Every structure is written in C-alpha cells, then in structure tokens.
Amino acid sequence: MRIKWFWNKISIKLLIAIIISFSISLFIAYIILYNLNRFHLLTSNRLSVDQYNLIVNALTAVVILSFIISFLLIIRKKIKYLKLITNSVQNIANGKLGSTIVIKGSDELGQLSRNINLMSKELENKFEHERQIENAKNELITNISHDLRTPLTSIIGYLDLLRKKEYKNEEQLTDYVKTIYSKSQELKSLINELFEYTKLTSPDVKLNLTAIDLGGLLEQIIGEYIPIFEKEGLCFQKSIPDEDLLVTMDVEEMVRVYDNLFMNAKKYSAKPTFIKINLDSDGKNAFFTISNQVADFQVEDVNQLFERFYRGDRARKEDGGSGLGLAISKRIVEIHGGKLTVDYKEGWLTFTIEHSLKE
C-alpha cells in the first residue's frame, strides 16, 4: 500500500523522468565523445583553442537539448492531461455543470480529476435543488395570489354594497356584515397558515425540543375536543396505553399537527359516527392513528390530501379552509424526523403519525 502510494506521487514520477532524461543526455554525450575520440579529434594537436572550445560548447548544448527533449517527451502525457483538466474546469466555470473528466492514473492529477468530478456533480445537484425551490416558490405565489384574492374580492364586493347603502333592511345589513366578518377571518387564517408554511419550509427552522409522554398529551387534547365533537354528533373510541411513551418534540408545533387532524376529522367526517384514536408502540417507535368515516370519498390518490391548497368540495363550499393544514402538518412531522401518512379503506380515512421514541 505504502509502496504503491510512493510510486503514485507526482514528485517521484518527475524525479524518475529527470533521471531518465539525464541518463539519455549522458548517453548521447558519451556516444559523441566516443566518436570524437575514435578519430583522435580532441587529443590531436590539429585543433586550435577556439575550435576546441566550439566543440565543447556544442557538446554541452547537445547534452542540454537532449535532456530537455527527452524530459518533455516523457512527461508529455501528463502535460496533455493537465491541459484537459484545465479545459474541463473552464467548461464547468462556464456553466457546464455535471460534466466530468476521464480519470487517468492514481497520482495527484488523477485525484484532482476525481475531486473536480465530485465538485461538478455536487454543484449540479445544488443548482437543480435551487431550481426546484424556485419553481415551488413561484407556484406557491401563484396559488397564494389566487387564494387571497377570492375572499378579498367578496369582502370588497360586500363593502361596496354597504358603502352605496344597497341593502333592503337591517336584517340584510347584518347578513352582509356577518359575511364580511367571516371572509376577513378566513383571510386572516389563510395569511397565518401561509406564514407558518413559509416559516416551516425555510431550511433553518428551529425546534424547541422537549421530551414528553405522548399518551398524556393525547389524553389532554382529546379531553379538550370531546365537547366540540359531541356538538357535531361525533364521539371518540380510543385506545391509549397506560405506559409512558416518551417522545422528543416541539410541543407547540406538534399540537398544531394534532389540532389539524382533529379539526379535519370534525369537519370532514360523516355524521353521526365515531372517531377511532389509537396509540401503539413497537419499542422503538410510537404510532398514533386517527380514523374517521367519510361519505363518498372520491380522491384518486389519497396522498393528494397533503398537497398545498388541496381542498375537498366540502371544504371549498362550507368551511373555507386554506388547504394548507395537512401540508404544514406533514412538514412539521418530517422536521421532527417522523412520518405522517394517510390511508383509505372501506369508507375509513386513517392518518398515522410515526414518532421515534426517546431512548
């Protein structure tokens, strides 16, 4: 291993090239001297001092020249490879991200090419990622504008009627004001959810983590929802183990997720029915599920529910939710390292949250 490393060093290769070139030039000098001697050119007295000097100088020049030529011939492949690397880096710098260099040898130049290839791929991935974020942002802005405009248009419309005193009686006036109020509330919650969503999708979102018993937390949330659900003709059928299931979470954020799942069950469940709540663990993970019955569920792919701004017909007509609730919930669960999934079977819609238990 060490021997291979030694021979793969470019300095060693250069040193060898120098030794070989030097030997070649010495050999050439030897041949010339040998031939000059054969004809007694240097030892005879036929040469003047100048001629003698000329021969010695010419010999030196031949030695230096042959050294340079043989050295360049030996290292020409490396120089060609270095040029290739330079051109490839130039191409990458000009925007041809993802392009790679053929790796030749395992010396420093080979390693350099390998690292440049890695860098090029990494840059390409980063750019692609940025592009996707940019597209998602643009799409989000388009959707937002549409969703903000709808309640705002009706607020403006009703305010215009009030301004022009275009109402028949006190009752109609109250009706208009009620509508304006509820549309403003809708706008407010939409803006809040939007703010929440953008905050959560930023890469440096911070969680305020604490360890908490999930069973206890759920009991508390269910307790708060019982009267609200009863009013809608819904009741709970729950199974929560007595043992402590410790989970590390940002309680405020996770409660937001549970709230959305409970409120969705309340809003979109068939009535009167019951809501099934289950908490389980396999020793490593805790599994929370909430299931409700749905009348005429006509979604091709249940995962569509997690899409931003996806709203079922009922949500569109009656409640006016933002359609961001589940997208936000999924994101919150994921930044906790958990999973939020949905499943539809025989009239029941089930949402599952998988949390890893604290060790």
Ligand X SMILES: Nc1ncnc2c1ncn2[C@@H]1O[C@H](COP(=O)(O)OP(=O)(O)O)[C@@H](O)[C@H]1O
How far is Cα 289 from Cα 238, in angstroms, rounded to an integer? 10
The verdict on 312 binding ligand X (CB under 6 A) reads yes
The verdict on 310 binding ligand X (CB under 6 A) reads yes
Q: Pairing relation of β-strands 273-281 and 234-239?
A: parallel
Query: If DSSP codes are grouped into helix, strand and coil, which group holds residue 298?
Result: coil
Binding mask 326-355 for ligand X (x = CB under 6 A): x----------------------x------
Contact yes or no for 340/329 (Cβ under 8 A): yes
Among 194, 325, 336, 355, binds Mg ion (CB under 5 A): 325
Q: Which entry of ligand X, Mg ion, none binds 349, CB below 5 to 8 A by partner kind?
A: ligand X
The verdict on 323 binding ligand X (CB under 6 A) reads yes
Q: Which of 102, 96, 111, 106 is nearest to 80 (CA)?
A: 102
Closest contact distance (angstroms) between CB of 192 and Mg ion is: 13
Rounded to the nearest angstrom, the gap between the alpha carbon of residue 118 and the centroid of all alpha carbons in its chain is 17
Torsion of CA 246, 251, 256, 261, to 10 degrees: 10
Cα–Cα distances in Å, from 62 out to 26, 39, 56? Answer: 10, 19, 10
Quick one: DSSP state of residue 164? T
Q: What angle do CA 280, 285, 288 make, to 5 degrees?
A: 40
Among 265, 277, 333, 340, binds ligand X (CB under 6 A): 265
Q: Which entry of ligand X, Mg ion, none binds 215, CB below 5 to 8 A by partner kind?
A: none
Kindly tell me which of 212 and 324 has the beta carbon lying closer to Mg ion: 324
Among 117, 264, 289, 292, binds Mg ion (CB under 5 A): 264
Query: What angle, 0 to 180 degrees and rounded to 10, lies between the N-to-C axes of helices 49-93 and 10-38?
Result: 160
Q: How many chain residues are in contact with ligand X, going by CB under 6 A?
A: 19
Query: If DSSP codes are grouped into helix, strand and coil, which group holds residue 236?
Result: strand
How far is Cα 206 from Cα 149, in angstroms, rounded to an integer? 31
Closest contact distance (angstroms) between CB of 320 and ligand X is: 8
Closest contact distance (angstroms) between CB of 265 and ligand X is: 5
Candidates 72-80, 95-103, 136-144, 264-272 — which segment interacts with Mg ion by CB under 5 A?
A: 264-272
Could you tell me where the beta strands, DSSP code E, fall in the chain? 210-213, 234-239, 246-249, 273-281, 285-293, 339-345, 348-356
Quick one: DSSP state of residue 136? H
Q: How many chain residues are in contact with Mg ion, going by CB under 5 A?
A: 3
Q: Which entry of Mg ion, ligand X, none binds 277, CB below 5 to 8 A by partner kind?
A: none
Among 88, 260, 273, 289, binds ligand X (CB under 6 A): 260
Candidates 51-59, 115-123, 214-222, 321-329 — which segment interacts with Mg ion by CB under 5 A?
A: 321-329
Kindly tell me which of 173 and 263 has the beta carbon lying closer to Mg ion: 263
Q: Which entry of Mg ion, ligand X, none binds 287, CB below 5 to 8 A by partner kind?
A: none
How far is Cα 10 from Cα 106, in angstroms, rounded to an integer? 10
The verdict on 321 binding ligand X (CB under 6 A) reads yes
What is the token pair recorded at 94? 């000009």
Contact yes or no for 42/36 (Cβ under 8 A): yes
Closest contact distance (angstroms) between CB of 259 and Mg ion is: 9
Please spell the DSSP secondary structure of 92-123, one letter per residue: HHTT-TT------SSSHHHHHHHHHHHHHHHH
Q: Which entry of Mg ion, ligand X, none binds 265, CB below 5 to 8 A by partner kind?
A: ligand X
- Interactions with ligand X, residue window 278-307 (CB under 6 A): 292, 294, 305
Q: Which entry of Mg ion, ligand X, none binds 292, CB below 5 to 8 A by partner kind?
A: ligand X
Kindly tell me which of 256 and 355 has the beta carbon lying closer to Mg ion: 256
Closest contact distance (angstroms) between CB of 303 and ligand X is: 11
Binding site residues, ligand X, CB under 6 A: 260, 264-265, 268-269, 292, 294, 305, 310-312, 315, 321-326, 349
Residues forming contacts to Mg ion in the complex (CB under 5 A) are 260, 264, 325
